[in-house]
């Protein structure tokens, strides 16, 4: 077992007062973090938006829209590609926790909900299959690995694979 103490999530919110309220009670919560580390593999700068937490007969329903920006690896040149992302929160945190279906979000016994896992999941789902740092990214040289966005390399690109030489005759001159 590790002795490393993990700091509490900055996306934990006390909703205990809503658990004591009547069904239909709600509270609007605004987020405005200049930079926040949501997980060990994801830092957002900024994370902004508004969500509403509502008391239901089954727990706390969270709904809202968040906007953020974070870095991912460009599929062509492997440099940072900054993505602007907007996503919807739309989830139920079950209370009491023992009534939650397996794998669902729950309100902790202490009355807190932690949005960090949900925010991480929703934002990662917004990443395109092949993110690019810019639309005209030239990528890396297949021979030497030089980033072609920084200029041409000295590799010769005129050589044709001898196995494909016959196909070159089909191309217009």
Tell me, what's the pLDDT at 5? 55
- Give the pTM: 0.79
Residues 6+ apart with CB under 8 A from 80: 71, 72, 73, 74, 133
The residues spanned by each domain of the chain are 12-137, 138-173
pLDDT digits (tens), the chain, 173 positions: 445 555 678 999 999 999 999 999 999 999 999 999 999 889 999 999 999 999 999 999 999 999 999 999 999 999 999 999 999 999 999 999 888 899 899 999 899 999 999 999 999 999 999 999 999 999 999 888 899 999 888 887 666 677 877 777 787 76
Q: How far is the C-alpha of 23 from the C-alpha of 21, rounded, in Å?
A: 7
150: nearest Cα among 158, 138, 142: 138
pLDDT value, residue 171: 76
Place of tokens 């953020």: 68
Secondary structure class of 146 (helix, strand, coil): coil
CB contact at 8 A, 90 and 63: yes
pLDDT at 21 (0 to 100): 93
pLDDT at 8: 74
CB within 8 Å of 121: residues ≥ 6 apart:
none
Q: In sequence order, what are the beta bridge partners of 92?
A: 61
Which of 74, 73, 71, 95 has its CA nearest to residue 85? 71
pLDDT at 170: 80
Rounded to whole angstroms, the Cα distance separating 146 from 138 reads 10
- Position 1 scores a pLDDT of 47
């Amino acid at each position: 077992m590790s002795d490393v103490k993990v700091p509490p999530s900055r996306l934990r919110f006390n909703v205990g007062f809503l658990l004591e309220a009547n069904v239909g009670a709600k509270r609007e919560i605004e987020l405005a973090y200049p930079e926040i580390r949501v997980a060990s593999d994801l830092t957002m700068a900024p994370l902004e938006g508004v969500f509403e937490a509502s008391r239901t007969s089954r727990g706390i329903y969270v709904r809202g829209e968040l906007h953020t920006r974070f870095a991912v690896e460009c599929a062509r040149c492997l440099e940072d590609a900054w993505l602007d992302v907007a996503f919807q929160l739309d989830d139920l945190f079950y209370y009491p926790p023992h009534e939650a279906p397996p794998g669902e979000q729950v309100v902790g016994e202490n009355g807190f909900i932690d949005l960090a896992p949900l925010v991480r999941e929703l934002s990662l789902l917004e990443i395109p299959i092949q993110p690019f740092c810019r639309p005209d990214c030239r990528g890396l040289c297949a021979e030497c690995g030089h980033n072609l966005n920084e200029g041409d390399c000295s590799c010769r690109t005129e050589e044709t694979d001898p196995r494909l030489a016959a196909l070159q005759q089909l191309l217009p001159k």
